[in-house]
Every structure is written in structure tokens, then in C-alpha cells.
Structure 1
Amino acid sequence: MTGQLTPDQARAPKTKTSGEAFHVSGWDNWLSGLIARHPMQWIRLGNFETKIARDAIEDIKIEKPVFVAGLARSGSTILLETLARHQDAATHRYRDYPPVFTPYFWNKFVDLAPKGKEVAVERTHADGINITPESPEAFEEMIWMAFFRHLHDVNESNVLDGQISNPAFEQFYRDHIRKLIHIRGGKRYISKANYLVTRMEYLLSIFPDARFVLPVRDPLWHIASLAKQHDLFCKGEQNNPRAIAHMQRVGHYEFGLDRRPINTGDAHASRQIMKHWKDGEEIAGWAHYWSDLHHYIADRLTVNKALKDATLVVRYEDFIADPANQLHRLFNHVDLPDAEPIINEVAPTIHAPTYYRPKFNDDEIDLIREVTAIAARRFGY
């Protein structure tokens, strides 16, 4: 799935080379490193910011927040971008990084800074999606990692279920969302964070009216995209140590030299996936990872009726084949009205990816189909 941010941005992309795409400036590296090394101080600073912003945010209610989650490369970015076009939407943007913990202070500073001409560039993923500092993006993972330090430990369950309680996080998170709603001038918080897939029940306990959007994709094509991205990120990070640190600080472990699978509560499965990758069995590792994660998702939707009712599963192939109807389903599910102009603008831009095709041999295709078959059938494949 691909798409454009605006017609002007789409007409004026600036392509980067692999090395440039993974370049992290000295300023970003210094400040993001400072934040990563001292998360508790930044939590305190965020709480202080909330006190300063109290008059501006005290009447803001968090109603039906929207969370787009799922395994990377399933179409989550275009879903976020489409939802972010709505006048009521409030999202994180690229401009919010690095000081994600203090959006109120930082955005006031950014608004005062001199503005240069913004030129859209293709994002690091090299997938045809062009971005500017105003583009929506996923950055809240930095906050989750500050409060839950185990979330990317492959030897420990990364699941946060409905029984979890962390009052300090929950208050900080609510205040953070209210500040973003105020800053963006919207009414509804929209988030894309792939790792939320194992936290949906916790989120539902915090926000009982939350809406979840869960993109899924045929495992053969999905794994082809994942493998392509991993190879791209590994090559880009090899001579860019700052890029590796950046990925770790923002909680982006899907690809690259520090790739880690989500532990869905089965440490043995996570270790086996890591072993496949360590032994050079890339396709086997991806296939078992796809199967494990999608079994977990299907299980949770089966046993938790409230979660099922709050979740819209969007199959990538259905989205490509009939984008207008799928976008209607999307906006209806999240309860964002008057979306017809957005649908009419976005639907014609949706098409199957043209920048790669699976290059698996027959044995690899058979392996993927065999390992993922049962989980795939649970989503209609």
C-alpha cells in the first residue's frame, strides 16, 4: 500500500541515497541520547509541563482514542496518514522528536523558530511515502519504554493485558494525549504504534471507548516486505552507528542490526525465532514470527469480546482491491464523521506496491505457507 501526503509534496520528492537516508544529525543524536539516558528526569519535566499547561488542557476530554497497531509493513502508515487528514485528528508528528515527553514546550519553541521551505523526502523505508516535519508518525513508544523497561526484552513477555496497573504511566499518558490534542487543535487522539498490538487490552482498560485498527497482510507478501526492509536497514546502519542508536531510542526494533521479535508470552517461541535469524535462516524466522504474532492476535480477539468489538481488522489485499469501501469501514469504525472528501482524495492513490516483488524460491514459498497456514486461515487467507 502506498500513498501521498499532499499533492504538492508528492510532486516534489527529494530522493536520498542509502547513506543519507540513515544519517542522524549531531543535534538529534545528542538530545535523543540525553533523553534516553535520563528518562525519569524527562518524566518529571513532562509532569512539570503539565502543571504549566493545566489551564489550557483542563477541559479537554479524551474520547474514543484511535490506535493503529499490528506487525510492521502491513499498511499501518497509510492508515495513520489517512486518519490524520481528518479535522478532528490529533497525532504525533515528526516535528515532535526528540523531546517527545514535553510536546507543549517543544512545539511552542518550534513555532517560534524561523521556517525554511519544507521539501518532502522519501522516508528511510524507501517505500514511496514522502514526509515532512508535519507528517504524522509514531513516537509514543519512547514514553512506554520509560515506564515499562522490559518491553523489548525478547526473553520476557512483552504483553500488557487488562490486569496491568501503572497509575504513574496512566496519568502521564492521559496528560500527554490531552496536551497533543490542545497543540494540534483537534478532538480525537490518533496513534500508530506497531507494538501496541500486545497492549490493546491494557489500553482498553484505560480507555474503555478506545477504537483499534489492526492491519493484516498475506504472509507471503508480508514477509517479502519485512525481509526487504530488514536488508535495507542493515545496510544503512552498518556505517551509521548513530542510526542504530536512534532506532533503539525510539523503540524501532522491527528491522536492522538490533532486530527483535515481540515476545507474546512464549519465551521459547521468541528464542527460536532469534535462533533462526542468528543461524541465517531468515525466511524461517520471519515465518515463525508472523505465525506466532498472528495467533496471539486471533486468540485475544476470540476470548475478549470487548476487544473484538473495539477492533477493525483491515486486510491489506482488501484495502488495495477496494480502497473506497475499506476507507468507509475505517472512518465508520473509528467514528470520525464527514470523511467523504478525504476518502475521495485518498482512494485513487491506493495501489499495490511497485517497488518490489517477492523473490522467494519454491522451497521458501512452501516453508512460508506451511508455517503460517493455520494462523493465516484465522484471518481469511
Structure 2
Amino acid sequence: MALEDYNWADRMVHRIAFRARAPQHILMDMEDRRFGDRLASQRMGAPIFVTALPRAGTTLMLEVLSCHPDTATHTYRDMPFVLSPVIWQQLSGKFQVRQDAKERSHGDGMLVSADSPEAFEEVLWQHGYPQDFHSDCIRLRERLDPKFLSSLQRHMRAICVARGMSNATATRYVSKNNANIARLDALAQAFPDASLIIPLRHPIDQARSLLRQ
């Protein structure tokens, strides 16, 4: 999405949501109280994790996978309260507007709108493992502790419930997260039935794409 798509009110809400953890967690608690039974009973299929180094084609892969009726992904409409997609979808639905798709700011020909799939899962990892993030790298993670695994599974169910409001067959959570390249062992161990998709691109083409960005 381009900067001009956000008016002053949108930007204010984003600042409130991301400058402190409290708003995100307050809405999560509200979601659990109101939709806890539905989240717990949500049927889940095998998840799909798409990851690679930047500019390798992960966004295109996400777009393709999101077209399948069984999959559930984040969309731009989940912003900024990405940790509570069910209740935020209900609250924001009152003032959502239809938006035509247009080329994203990368200038790579991909068209996006507010309903396009996108990668917002990393917010959860930043909340769960702040010690893994450094100025020059992300720490490799070989396993997930039970508390975070429970939070991730809860989040996956929430995305499926949110998307299921318009598509009852959406039971396979699809994650597109470049940072998960540092967590492959942990994800494979935590989700033995998951599909891990790692797109590969010719190194020279990938380097040129990075340079253009």
C-alpha cells in the first residue's frame, strides 16, 4: 500500500497501535472473551509457511496460494491491530471503503488493494521474542517455547475465523514471512505437518531487484 492511501486518522490509529503494546493486547483480550469458544473450535488444516530472502518471489507465491478457497492469510485490512483480526474486522467493517487495486510502491507490477494478502505475522514474533531482534540480524531459533507456540496457534486460528466469515472452507493458515528463514527448524519441529515453501531466484536477478528497491 502507498503512503497516500493513509489519511491523518489512519496514521493516528497506526501510531497508537504500534508505539505501545497495551492497545494490541487489550484488543486481543476482548477478542478472547467474545470469540474464545469459536477460536477454540476452529478446524485447522496443515499450515503453509512461505519464506526466503527478500525479493525472491514470496509475495507472488502468497498471492497464488491465497486464491485457493481452503487458505486463510492476513490482508491489509488487518492493519493495524493484526493480533486480533476477528474483532478488528468487526469493528473496522463499519467504516471500510472499497478500494481499487493499484501497483504497489515496489514498482514491480504487482497490484494490491486493501483486500490483498500481506505479511503481518512478524508483529507476533516481535512481541514474543524481542530478544531475537538485533540491529544487524535476527537470531536463529531452533525451537519454540510452549507459551509462544500456543500464542502462534491461537493467532493462526484467529486468521482462519476472520477469513471464514466470508469463506467457510478457509482452514489452512498461510504465512508469508521473510524473517522465518531464521526459524525453519523451529517451525518444522512445532508443525510437522506443515508445508515449508522457499522460493529460489537467480542470485544476480535477486541482487538487481534489491538494488532497485
Give the drift of 1:51: 3.0
The total of aligned residue pairs comes to 207
Aligned to 2:99: 118
The letter for the 2-side match of 1:124 is S
The match for 2:121 is 140
SS at match of 1:72: coil
- Asked if residue 35 in structure 1 is aligned to residue 40 in structure 2, the reply is no
- Contact 1:93/1:133 (<8 A) preserved: yes
Q: Which moved more, 1:171-180 or 1:133-142?
A: 171-180
> Which amino acid is the alignment partner of residue 50 of structure 2?
V
8 Å Cα contact 1:90/1:181 also seen in 2: yes
- Say which structure is richer in helix: 1
Matched, 1:57 2:65: no
Residue 118 of structure 2 aligns with an amino acid whose one-letter code is E
What is the alpha-carbon distance in structure 2 between the residues aligned to residue 96 and residue 109 of structure 1? 11
What's 1:176 paired with?
A: 155
Separation (CA, whole Å) in 1 of partners of 2:129 and 2:86:
23
Are 2:109 and 1:128 aligned? yes
- Aligned-partner Cα distance in 1 for 2:120–2:43: 21
Q: Which has the higher contact order (CA 8 A, sep 6+)?
A: 2
| CA 46–159 in structure 1, closer or farther in 2 if over 3 Å, else same | same
Give, as a single letter, the amino acid of the residue that structure 2 aligns with 1:199. R
Larger radius of gyration: 1
TM-score of the superposed pair, with normalisation by structure 1: 0.51
TM-score (norm 2): 0.88
Cα shift at 1:28: 3.1
The amino acid across from 2:158 in the alignment is K
- What is the deviation of 1:158? 1.7
| Structure 2 equivalent of residue 280 of structure 1 | none
The structure 1 segments of at least 4 consecutive aligned residues displaced by more than 4 Å after TM superposition are: none
1:228 match: 212
Secondary structure at the counterpart of residue 199 of structure 2 = strand
1:40 shift after superposition: 4.9
1:109-130: CA deviations, max 9, x gaps? 23333x5442111111111011
Preserved CA contact (<8 Å) 2:121 2:177: yes
Residue 156 of structure 1 and its aligned partner are, at CA, apart by 6.0
Q: Distance in 1 between matches of 2:209 and 2:82?
A: 29
Q: Separation in 1 of the partners of 2:181 and 2:137? A: 16
The answer (yes or no) to whether the contact 1:50–1:175 under 8 Å persists in 2 is no
Residue of structure 2 equivalent to 1:203 = 187
Residue 93 of structure 1 corresponds to 75
SS of residue paired to 1:216: coil
Q: Which runs of 5+ in 1 are unaligned?
A: 1-19, 230-381
- 1:156 to 1:78, Cα distance in 2 relative to 1, 3 A: closer
Pick closer, same or farther for the CA change 1:134–1:156 going to 2, 3 Å: closer
- The sequence identity of aligned pairs, in percent, is 31
